[in-house]
Structure formats: structure tokens, C-alpha cells
């Protein structure tokens, strides 16, 4: 499904200084993929404008307008589609994630899904109470790997202790 659109706002605000500008520099056509409709991929061909920033002290002399909820700078997918694909990548990753994305009408390669997982920010590091360590051999005798996992009990109120047998 192809949607051709353009923005109609008279002004756009500079992302650096926030000053609104109505001086148009140029226009260009941009392609953005959005969430599927009835299982069919949706391609939005959006005509956007570049504006001159009127603030002399602003470092950005020319900026491009962004459509809230649809576009981000340098992005080819809408924010909603990117969030959905990131969720699929976290849950399934690789080939399984690519098959699932294709079923919902958002074809994507397994490599791109893995790149999306790698691009996520690292979780906050707190205090580790119990650390699990596992060593394994990737290839017998040649290369080894180590996995460190923070262990959190499912039911924190249960505590196991070794008691001597009663007589």
C-alpha cells in the first residue's frame, strides 16, 4: 500500500535553538515504512521541506521538518514500526523474528533484527548479590567462553540452609 503525503504547516521549529522558521530552503521526497494494514506493508512517500534557521548564533543553518509520530532524523521506519520490530527482535531475534515480522507485513532481515538488539542501550547496573558463572568450549580444546549471569530467586522469601540431620 502506497501513501503519498506532504506537510501543510506554515512553520517548523529548529531542533537546535527552537526558533520557528517560515523560510523554505528546498523540498525533497522521503520514503518511510509504517505499520502494516491488513497484513500488507505500508510505504509512505512524504514530501518534506528544509528550512533556514533565522537565529544567527545557531550552529544549524538548515534543518528538515519532522512529522511527530512518523519520522525521526535519518530513519526509514516510523517510530511505531521500529518499536514493534524492536519488540520482535528482543523476543525472537534472528530467523524466527524475521519470519514473524514477515507474517505481520513488515519484512525485515535477520541481520537487521540483530542490529536493532545490539543498538539498544545497556540496562542499568545495580548491585549484584549472587553471580552465576558458566564456562564452555566453543570448539574442543581451542576456544572457550564464559557467561556471567546475575541470579535472582523467583521467590525471594524462601531461603535454603543446610541443617544437620536430627537424631
Mean pLDDT of the chain: 84
- 110 lies in some domain: yes
Q: Where are the beta strands (DSSP E) in 53-102?
A: 62-64
CB 32 within 8 Å of CB 41? no
d(CA 7, CA 15): 17
d(CA 137, CA 146): 9
Look at the chain and report how many structural domains it folds into. 1
Give the domain extent around 41: 2-119
Instruction: Look at residue 156 and tell me whether its pLDDT is greater than 60.
Output: no
Residue 137 confidence class, pLDDT cut points 50, 70, 90: confident
Q: pLDDT digit string (tens) for 33-57?
A: 988 888 888 999 999 999 998 888 8
- Model pLDDT, residue 97: 92
- 6 lies in some domain: yes
CB 30 within 8 Å of CB 7? no
According to DSSP, the β-strands at 24-37 and 62-64 are: unpaired
Q: Quick one: DSSP state of residue 34?
A: E
- 141 lies in some domain: no
- 146 lies in some domain: no
Amino acid at each position: 500500500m502506497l501513501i503519498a503525503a506532504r506537510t501543510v504547516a506554515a512553520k517548523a521549529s529548529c531542533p537546535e535553538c527552537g526558533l520557528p522558521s517560515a523560510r523554505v530552503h528546498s523540498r525533497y521526497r522521503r520514503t518511510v515504512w509504517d505499520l502494516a494494514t491488513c497484513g500488507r506493508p505500508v510505504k509512505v512517500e512524504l514530501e518534506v521541506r528544509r528550512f533556514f534557521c533565522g537565529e544567527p548564533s545557531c550552529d544549524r543553518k538548515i534543518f528538515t521538518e519532522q512529522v511527530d509520530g512518523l519520522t525521526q532524523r535519518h530513519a526509514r521506519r516510523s517510530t511505531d514500526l521500529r518499536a514493534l520490530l524492536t519488540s520482535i527482535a528482543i523476543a525472537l531475534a534472528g530467523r524466527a523474528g524475521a519470519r514473524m515480522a514477515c507474517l505481520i507485513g513488515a519484512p525485515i532481515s535477520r541481520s537487521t533484527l540483530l542490529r536493532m538488539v545490539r543498538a539498544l542501550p545497556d540496562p542499568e547496573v545495580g548491585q549484584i548479590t549472587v553471580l552465576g558463572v558458566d564456562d564452555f568450549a566453543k570448539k574442543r580444546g581451542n576456544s572457550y567462553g564464559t557467561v556471567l549471569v546475575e541470579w535472582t530467586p523467583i521467590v525471594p522469601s524462601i531461603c535454603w540452609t543446610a541443617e544437620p540431620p536430627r537424631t
